[in-house]
Structure 1
């Protein structure tokens, strides 16, 4: 898959989420990346394609979802680390400093991850989406301490009005035991 622009609509209904996913795909020439339930009874739809098509499909999804929409976005030129982090397939040679940003929606977490990855020399480890988290999500990243601090701050700013950010932390030297439980 050649990922260029991604778009997302997060809903607070599984049934409406499936319907919105179907209509978004039918509305424009986009490819479905992810359509699945998350906690607590939410549903996330992620699509990719050319910027105009993705924007159009997200607008269709938002309009159809109406008050069921929890959050949404369109990200042109998404950072290449976002998809391995979403799928839990990031390959890391070494974990140095550890940064964590915890958000109140999955969509805002993806925004934070993309902004963080674009801002500094860090590698995304994982974007954990809402499963067992009460609807929240978090992104973990690694790099040198200065880069991780800069990336976390940029990630927080990258959420913008989509937020809120629930919490964040930078650990300069996480224990080897914790590192073994990150993925």
Structure 2
């Protein structure tokens, strides 16, 4: 499946998350990419399709979720590294500099990852979503130091007030031991 536009609604209820996922798919011509619980008792719904359909689907999800919606987005022309990073299937032959952006919601982390990937010559390693992280999420990326710095800054800027960004770091020369734990 080639994903061009993705949309997401993150909720603080698993039961309502399932209901919202069902209604989002019924509301517009979209495909469900992901619908699953995350910590701490949140539920993440990601859909894909034409931009207008995704926007409509996300709006229906937001309206239905009401105050249970934690975060949401629509990303037209999502970077191709985002989906493999979400599923931890990125193929990274070598880690140079390492960038990490840690956010307070999964949705804002996906926004940060997309912006970071588009901003510089980096490869996304993984987007880790809230499992065992108290609801937070983080994205890791690699490339040369300058590209990683630019990408981390672009990712932070893309989150804006949606996140917020909890922390971020650029490690110019990570140890071999750390690299082994990332791949």
Q: TM-score, normalised by structure 1?
A: 0.99
Name 1:106's counterpart in structure 2: 106
Name 2:18's counterpart in structure 1: 18
SS in 1 for 2:55: helix
Q: Tell me how far apart the structure 1 counterparts of residues 93 and 107 of structure 2 sit (CA, whole Å).
A: 28
Q: Tell me how far apart the structure 2 counterparts of residues 155 and 60 of structure 1 sit (CA, whole Å).
A: 27
The aligned runs of 1:1-183 (5 Å cut-off) are 1-183=1-183
SS in 2 for 1:180: helix
Aligned-CA RMSD value = 0.5
Structure 2: tracts of 5 or more residues without a match? none
Q: How many residues align?
A: 183
SS in 1 for 2:140: strand
- 1:161 Cα deviation (Å)? 2.1
Q: Tell me how far apart the structure 2 counterparts of residues 36 and 48 of structure 1 sit (CA, whole Å).
A: 15
- Structure 1 runs (4+) greater than 2 angstroms displaced: none
Structure 1: tracts of 5 or more residues without a match? none
